[in-house]
Structure formats: C-alpha cells, structure tokens
Amino acid sequence: MGASAAAGLHVVVARPCASSPGRMFKSRTAFWRINLKGASQGLANSSSIFSIRSPCERYPSKFCRVVTRALSGESEKRTAYGLPIDLRGKRAFIAGVADDNGYGWAIAKALAFAGAEILVGTWVPALNIFETSLRRGKFDESRRLPNGSLMHIAKVYPLDAVYDTPEDVPEDVKTNKRYAGSSNWTVKEVAESVKNDFGSIDILVHSLANGPEVTKPLLETSRRGYLAAISASSYSFVSLLQHFLPIMNPGGATVSLTYIASERTIPGYGGGMSSAKAALESDTRVLAFEAGRKGQIRVNTISAGPLGSRAAKAIGFIEKMIDYSYSNAPLQKELLADEVGNTAAFLVSPLASAVTGSVVYVDNGLNTMGLAIDSRSLATQN
C-alpha cells in the first residue's frame, strides 16, 4: 500500500503570475511527476509541504511565488490531468435529431458525456417514431456513453425550422395529418417553450439539411427547389440563432454542419444543396461577428466527411462517396460519427474560447486533396 502510493506521488507547483497580460489568466499551475520508489513508507503516507528548486529560483521575479505540495493517496485521485472537456452546468439545444445514427445524435452524446444537459428538436413528422423508439428502449444501446451510463435527453421538442412563426405556416401544412397532435413547433415557439421550461441555454447545435431536389443537377433545379434547400439548410440556422440568442448565456457557443460541396464541385449533390452549404459557411463568419458583439456567443461550423446516415442516403450515392473518401483521404480509415461529435464538444467548450467564425474540417483530410489517387487516368499513366 505504502509502496504503491509512493510510486504515484506528484508534486504540484502553483505559480501566480501577476504579469500575465489577460484578465482571464491570473494564475498557472505546472505539474511534475517524480519517481519516489526509493522513498520511505513514512514519506509516502505523508502530505507534508516541502521545498524543491523551482523555475522561479532560477529566474527570480517579484511577481512569482512558489507553493509546493506533495500529493499522495486519496489526494492523487482527486488531481485532474490533461485538458478535460467539461460542460457540467451547461445546457444544449440540438436541432435536427430524428434517429440514432446521424451526426446530430453523435454530437448529443459527446455533449452529454462532457456533462451538458441535452434538449433536442425533432422534425414534426418524425417525432412520434423518435419518441416511441426512445421510450421503448430501441436506442438504449446507441445511447450508451463511454463510461457505461446512458445519455439522458431532458426533453424532446417538435420542430420544423422552415417556419419562423405560426403565421408563416401554410394551410396545407397545418392540416397535414403528419403534423396532427403537435403544437408550438415553429422556431419562435420552440425558443419560447425552451425559455419557459428551462430559462436559458448555453449551446445551440444546428444539424438540419434538406433539399427536395437534391438528386437533380443544378441546371435542372427549379426555383422552388433551390429556395427550399436554402431555407431548410442554411436560413434555418440564421432563424434559430436569431430566436435563441436572447436566451443564450454570455460565453455560449453554436455549431452547425456543412460539407465540402460548398467549395468544391460534387457531381450529383444537386438541387441547390451546394449553394445552401456555401451560404451556411458565409453566414457562420457574419454571425460570428454579430452574435459575438451582441451576446458574446461563438459561431463555428464543422465540414464533415461522408457518413452513411439515413438522411445522407437521400442523395443516392453516399456509399460511393464513403468509398472514395477511404481511397483518397490522407487518413485511410472509416470516418466515425463520434469523431464529429467530439470535435463539436471541443468547439462549444471553454477549450475553444478563442475560436469563432471558423470552418473546421473533420473528414480524414479529404479536403486537402487536389488529385484522386485512385483515378483510372493515373493507373493508365503508370
């Protein structure tokens, strides 16, 4: 017992630095692990204070004081190491979770594992199936977090982010049987419901995209189809932030999901969806300024690689895109939804407190490639 405690002894040096330029950085703590296998059992069980030669002794400064303490036993267990993503006490609203195999679900799990309280907005026609599956335990396996616990969703809200207010909803949608039994599902109403139920949020996630003519080439896309893609896939984020910003706590963050088609030609990804993703990325930069100045809110977007989710299968060739990415990306491996979720957790955490207005690529590096290395043209040349 004594030997094992000695082997894990740590020295903590806390060095307040009054000369640090930023108000937020008033102190620093440096950690050293020292090998005390030869130490006596009496020392191993001791928590007494002793002195070591510190950097301040070598570089004296009137602003630098050294307090050194040896930690062992139970104290060591309470010592945190590394850079943990800690979202305890934070509340997240995730728009666009309708099943358990998309990026929205993966982001929800990552935020929950980091300690955030999870609220989700689900497309109204999919609401009953989603809630029933959740209630009957069909998602229990995919709800499982790395520590073995199950992700808890505090509340599921019906949401159709195509409509800002009840006045915007056309009569044929109001009477549609797929919307029967649901109420208060426009963006404004959902924001008001969240305010009434929880008061405020800290994190807003946009995981929404829809293009009714996505399988059509742009040259064959109708005005209606094009504008529908823009409305559902990019303006919906503007609307969500517009209505949720008043109830977001200062220092909060938002994250959305984009795709490389915003800047590169992806044949087959049509119907105005590439335009919608380009608009989303442009809006990310503008909203980062506006929301940053107005509410100290950070705004970022993740350019995720292809994933074989149910929603992605609507474009008709997602499996080919996954194969293409595997063959040509610098990292030749399958892209996991959890990798996007983990990146989102970082972006909304204090660890990314200076990151805003950015497009962050999570695609195994495929965005860096200018040549398809599995091209038949290259094979012919070789």
Kindly give the interhelix angle for 337-347 and 103-113, rounded to the nearest 10 degrees: 50
- β-partners of residue 10 are 33, 71
* CA–CA dist 70, 88 (Å, integer): 29
- β-partners of residue 13 are 30, 68
| N- to C-terminal Cα separation, the chain | 65
Phi–psi pair at 201, nearest 5 degrees: -135, 165
* CA–CA dist 355, 284 (Å, integer): 12
Q: Which amino acid is at 37?
A: K
SS3 224: helix
- Residues whose CB falls within 8 Å of the CB of residue 269, separated by 6 or more in sequence, listed in order: 214, 259, 261, 315
157, 226, 235, 259: which is the annotated catalytic residue? 259
Phi–psi pair at 255, nearest 5 degrees: -145, 140
Q: Mark whether 259 is an active-site residue.
A: yes
Q: Are strands 201-206 and 91-95 parallel, antiparallel or unpaired?
A: parallel
* CA–CA dist 267, 274 (Å, integer): 10
* CA–CA dist 69, 10 (Å, integer): 8
Going 334 to 335 to 337 to 339, the CA torsion angle's sign is: positive
Other Cβ atoms less than 10 A from the Cβ of 334: the count is: 13
CA-nearest of 368, 311, 374 to 337 is: 311
* CA–CA dist 91, 102 (Å, integer): 21
CA-nearest of 306, 360, 338, 353 to 151 is: 338
Q: What distances in angstroms separate CA 367 from CA 3, 100, 214, 256, one per listed residue?
A: 52, 27, 22, 18
269, 324, 326, 361: which is the annotated catalytic residue? 269
Catalytically annotated residues: 259, 269
